[in-house]
């Protein structure tokens, strides 16, 4: 996916650095909401552990095909563990 596309035309994902997982998001706003949700969950679960600094959650452009993005979006909320808006 080209970085020269306008932001509204890009496909977005949540990138979890550490395990290096990608979750296709329906929009940048939903990716941002998911990052907040996941950070909060991780901090509550690992507040006193060294693991707290080992994982980062970021919003990033989707690096693969539009088809694979659409497939990932279909399971986004279930995978992330949060409800749709």
At residue 1, the pLDDT reads: 42
**Taking 70 as the threshold, does the pLDDT of residue 2 lie above it?**
no
Angle at 51 between CA 11 and CA 79, to 5 degrees: 35
Residues in the chain: 85
**Taking 90 as the threshold, does the pLDDT of residue 77 lie above it?**
yes
At residue 20, the pLDDT reads: 86
CB-based contacts of 17-22 (< 8 A; 24+ apart in sequence): 17/55, 17/56, 17/57, 17/58, 18/54, 18/55, 18/56, 19/55, 22/60, 22/62, 22/63, 22/72
The predicted-structure confidence for 23-38, as pLDDT tens digits, reads as follows 999 999 999 999 999 9
pTM tops 0.85, yes or no: no
Per domain, the residue ranges of the chain are 9-74
**Taking 80 as the threshold, does the pLDDT of residue 48 lie above it?**
no
Residue 6, SS3? coil
Task: Supply the mean pLDDT for the chain.
Answer: 88
Distance of CA 68 to the CA centre of its chain: 15
* Residue 5 binned pLDDT confidence (cut-offs 50, 70, 90): low
């Amino acid at each position: 996916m080209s970085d020269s596309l306008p932001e509204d035309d890009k496909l977005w994902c949540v990138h979890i650095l550490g395990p290096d997982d990608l979750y296709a998001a329906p929009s940048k706003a939903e990716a941002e909401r998911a990052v907040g949700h996941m950070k909060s969950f991780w901090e509550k679960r690992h507040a006193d552990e060294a693991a707290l600094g080992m994982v980062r959650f970021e919003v990033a452009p989707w690096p693969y095909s539009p088809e694979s993005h659409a497939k990932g979006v279909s399971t986004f909320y279930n995978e992330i563990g949060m409800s749709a808006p």
